[in-house]
A and B are shown apart, each in its own frame.
Chain A
């Protein structure tokens, strides 16, 4: 069975602080993993993706994520957040057929000035 768990529904950080959003997954095979961001009243946009190779992947706007097979995790990080990063972030898993996606419940990030 495929599933994605984002344990933190809401995260609040100060502008300029570092960020980690957690994601745990369950997959019967080697999954494809993604992070998407949803800005207010918009659709979802791809931040980054992991298929294989280097477990640390770089994305847009300074985001990166680290894949850990032993921990079944794919946490999102950013060294210094900006107020414009306030949004909802979704961790997404795709099994081997990679055209059916499983979404986590999302983490709402609020960046305080």
Chain B
């Protein structure tokens, strides 16, 4: 069964600290995404990747870095966490059929204090 696993499920970080969110997929998908969800907003695309060792900027990349060391793994890195980055983060993967084969993880709730 297709699966996208995120870790951790939740995290509390301090302002200025480094945070790494991890995502692992077993779908053999080429595309992986990181989205951010804030109350009252839909999901906004931070970074995505369509091949290992390459990442692309989404709509709101400032303050975030991404890393795709393998087809299965995609990380989101906050080098200097800020209060405004408190949100729920979703990872997703998709095949070449795009949103028709889009699978989401369960989300990571990040609180920056």
Contacts and interface: CB of A to CB of B under 8 A. Distances in A.
A105 B31 contact: no
Interface residues of B, number: 27
A100 B104 contact: no
Interface stretch (B13-21, B44-52, B65-73, B75-83): B44-52
A65 to B, nearest CB: 14
A32 B103 CA distance: 17
B58 interface: yes
B41 A92 contact: no
B94 interface: yes
Interface stretch (A13-21, A43-51, A53-61, A72-80): A43-51
A99 B31 contact: yes
A100 B45 CA distance: 8
A43 B106 contact: yes
A90 interface: yes
A103 B43 contact: yes
Contacts of B44: 103
Contact of A101 (B41, B102, B106): B102
Shortest Cβ-Cβ A-B pairs, 8 listed: A103-B42, A43-B104, A98-B98, A103-B43, A44-B104, A105-B42, A99-B98, A104-B42
Given A32-B98, A32-B99, A99-B31, 16 more contacts: A6-B42, A41-B107, A42-B107, A43-B90, A43-B105, A43-B106, A43-B107, A44-B90, A46-B99, A46-B102, A98-B98, A99-B48, A99-B96, A100-B48, A101-B99, A104-B42
8 contacts: A41-B106, A43-B90, A43-B104, A44-B90, A98-B99, A99-B99, A100-B48, A101-B43
